[in-house]
Amino acid sequence: MSANLINLLIEATGQTLYMVAIATLIGTALGLPLGVFLATSQRGELLSAPWVNKVLGLVVNATRSIPFIILVVAIIPFTRLLAGTSIGTTAAIVPLTIAAVPFIARLVENAIREVDEGLIEAARAMGATPLQIIRKVLIAEALPAITLGLTLAVVSLIGYSAMVGAVGGEGLGDLGIRYGYQRFMPEVMAVVVVILIVLVQLVQSVGERIAARVDKRAPKGRGQ
């Protein structure tokens, strides 16, 4: 494999990491509060706002039911508005983020709904405000599950990022398609796949490790 190709691979890996990292960051910044709100705003819950909950739930479901490749194309005008251009790696971050937000929101919602009702009750009995309960009880207790959820989100985003070649986004997926498929260089395709496998494996094990560290629910074995 030529030095040129190796450079291309390194560059593509960097682009993939860049897209996924920014999409995860913004996706979490928006998805986490959205997920918390979805988990606490049904009738009779902490932030009881059943109508807002319903509407947001519908929007989240709608966004999640659009196949990613269609989403990428469908929001091109919006992407241009936001990124100044509708093609290229930076532009590709827009659809990735838009896919990430509802996905992360649902993962966070599920994680928070797993928190024992009794803890909310205990916190209410202490005189905690809804925001204190969310911060000190719900998010703290759901942290292991949220961490695993974010891990899943990052892995999914790595997969999605392979499709942004369609709008001129670069990265590993795009490289694999252009060289491996269109230029008949199966070895490039193979290397891309291997790098993706390694990336996903890495993300997964780091995520699991962090989740295990923040999870105090089961006693740790001796010698850890």
Interacting residues with another protein (CB under 8 A): 116, 118-119, 121-129, 132, 136-137, 140-141, 143, 214, 216-219
| Closer residue to another protein (CB): 43 or 65 | 43
| Closer residue to another protein (CB): 52 or 126 | 126
Residue 163 φ/ψ region, left for φ over 0, alpha for ψ in the -120 to 50 degree band, beta for the rest? alpha
State the minimum distance, in angstroms, from the CB of residue 121 to another protein. 7
| Closer residue to another protein (CB): 127 or 223 | 127
State the minimum distance, in angstroms, from the CB of residue 144 to another protein. 8
| Closer residue to another protein (CB): 101 or 120 | 120
| Closer residue to another protein (CB): 115 or 199 | 115
HEC letters along the chain: CCHHHHHHHHHHHHHHHHHHHHHHHHHHHHHHHHHHHHHHCCCCCCCCCHHHHHHHHHHHHHHHHCCHHHHHHHCHHHHHHHHCCCCCHHHHHHHHHHHHHHHHHHHHHHHHHCCCHHHHHHHHHHCCCHHHHHHHHHHHHHHHHHHHHHHHHHHHHHHHHHHHHHHCCCCHHHHHHHHHHHCCCHHHHHHHHHHHHHHHHHHHHHHHHHHHHHCCCCCCCCCC
State the minimum distance, in angstroms, from the CB of residue 50 to another protein. 14
- On whether the CB atoms of residues 104 and 150 are closer than 8 A, the answer is yes
State the minimum distance, in angstroms, from the CB of residue 28 to another protein. 19
State the minimum distance, in angstroms, from the CB of residue 133 to another protein. 9
| Closer residue to another protein (CB): 36 or 98 | 36
